Amino acid sequence: MSDTRTLSAALISVFDKTGLEPIIEELHQLGVTLYSTGGTEAFIRQMGIPVVPVEDLTEYPSILGGRVKTLHPKVFGGILNRQNHSGDQAEMAAYQIPQIDLVIVDLYPFEDTVAAGGTEQEIIEKIDIGGIALIRAAAKNFHDVLCIADKKEYPTLLALLKDQKGDTLLAQRKHFSAKAFHVSSNYDTAIFNYFNAEPGYLKISQSEGQTLRYGENPHQEGRFFGPLHELLEQLHGKGLSYNNLLDVDAAVQLMQEFKDELPTFAILKHNNTCGLATRPTLHEAYVDALAGDPVSAFGGILIANTTLDAATALEIHNLFCEVVIAPGFEGDALDILKQKKNRILLKQNDVPLPQQQLRSCLNGVLVQGKDLHTDQVSDLKNVTLEVPNASEIEDLLFASKICKHTKSNTIVLAKNKQLLASGTGQTSRVDALNQAIVKAKNFNFDLQDAVMASDAFFPFPDCVSIAYEAGIRIVIQPGGSIKDQDSIDFCNKKNMKMVLTGIRHFKH
């Protein structure tokens, strides 16, 4: 038997009628019998096209408020029968079951109802039963049946109907079968995640994916899955790369810490902050952020916590950078920044970010809750004789926010709400501190009275000793070492100030 099938009858039952009309018209022109239910049946009748109610086929009405309409052997027998199986065909004839070789079905908008804050009863009523069963049946029997489960496939289906005059090939039916099972599995995952209250399960399904230019390196493939457009609206530039997205993620997560602060500007490179400042104006914030490390800023990711103005854009335009992110852009600022054709401009929308973090590990996946703790004044415990004043506390918390978003081991040096330097991703905290001091001096920063933040405790007093020799007098760290007192004693001896937070901020 040939793998070509000619459409003879279609079952159409959809919640969303968008884009359906030309398909119905084409099926009618091809002489395909149409079966339908409820609102879809009425829609087809309004087009003036003959349609057979499913109730006439099943000789059973829609019951239970529409919960049961298509769940009947005369429907599922028409879909699941094997056309090259003599036994199936004999039963089809005996029970007068018509062949159905095209199923066009969508599902009740469960995810949309959840997202819209529907009541539990409203959400439960959007759990589709008949639709999901029809999709699985039609997709399973792809040898004989074509299944369309997503309106995004309507244009492809319409072209196929026109070009092939109602004929379908096995490869085409199998292709649409895979897409249908994607729809059904994604739907079931959403329902499970709504009901599940146990942390011992992980089910992920993303229906939106985009191919990237390449992965971390040109010889690697890369894709991004998720509704990126909801968070970031690209206004200009080339497509985002795998590395761009990692850096953009680091930038967005960092700037969440400064969302409600005075104008703040940050520059990142390879997921780490190389410049950040908070100032009365965004222009000043950018200039001082750039001063933190103008070398690393080349090719970096730039992000602001407020609308980007023309004066700031003029400064940025002098720097080669990959991406600029802001919650808004003034018209003149956009015109300036768009002069570089490849420069990526992203408008960040105010949407919630995931509270769970995942990463592949060995032959599985690591899952953890996001580090949502931002050190506050109430967290600070003064452990030295000298205590920081109000402005010094502001700098300590400023440095702590940056430290939280920098690769471990890290040390952050800051003064007057400006990042002076950081040591990032070092195998020892001493190395991280020395790296930060060298960088700060290379860019002519005075470390006298600067603050030092550490992502984890000091096991020995060596770091506070090195910091003192560099002019640093104020320290914030989590504490927790059995030798905390050694560092505290050194600080007291040198009239330094130290506060403990009790919260470690490792980032690997």
- In the structure, what pLDDT confidence band is assigned to residue 37 with cuts at 50, 70 and 90? confident
Q: Among the listed ranges 5-9, 206-210, 416-420, 470-474, which one has the minimum average pLDDT value? A: 206-210
Q: What is the pLDDT of residue 1?
A: 59
Percent helix, strand, coil in the chain, to 5, is: 40, 20, 40
State yes or no: pLDDT of 65 exceeds 80.
no
Nearest Cα to 57, choosing from 73, 46, 81?
Answer: 73
Q: Is the CB of residue 184 less than 8 Å from the CB of residue 130? A: no
| pLDDT digits 0-9 by tens, 167-221 | 999 999 999 999 999 999 999 999 999 999 888 888 888 877 889 989 999 999 9
State yes or no: pLDDT of 468 exceeds 90.
yes
State yes or no: pLDDT of 38 exceeds 90.
no
- In the structure, what pLDDT confidence band is assigned to residue 138 with cuts at 50, 70 and 90? very high
Task: Give the DSSP H/E element, type plus range, for residue 284.
Answer: helix 282-291
Alpha-carbon span 148 to 381, nearest angstrom: 62
State yes or no: pLDDT of 61 exceeds 90.
no
Number of C-beta neighbours around residue 26 at 10 A: 18
By CB atoms closer than 10 A (0-12, 13-18, 19+), residue 57 is: buried
**DSSP reduced 3-state for 165:** coil
What is the mean predicted confidence (pLDDT) over 95-101?
91
pLDDT: is 62 or 259 the higher one? 259
Q: Among the listed ranges 123-132, 154-163, 398-407, which one has the minimum average pLDDT value? A: 123-132
Number of C-beta neighbours around residue 428 at 10 A: 12
Q: What is the pLDDT of residue 64?
A: 77
Q: What is the pLDDT of residue 149?
A: 95
Q: What residues are labeled active site? A: 140, 270
Nearest Cα to 479, choosing from 496, 454, 462?
Answer: 454
What is the mean predicted confidence (pLDDT) over 328-350?
96
Nearest Cα to 183, choosing from 154, 205, 201?
Answer: 205
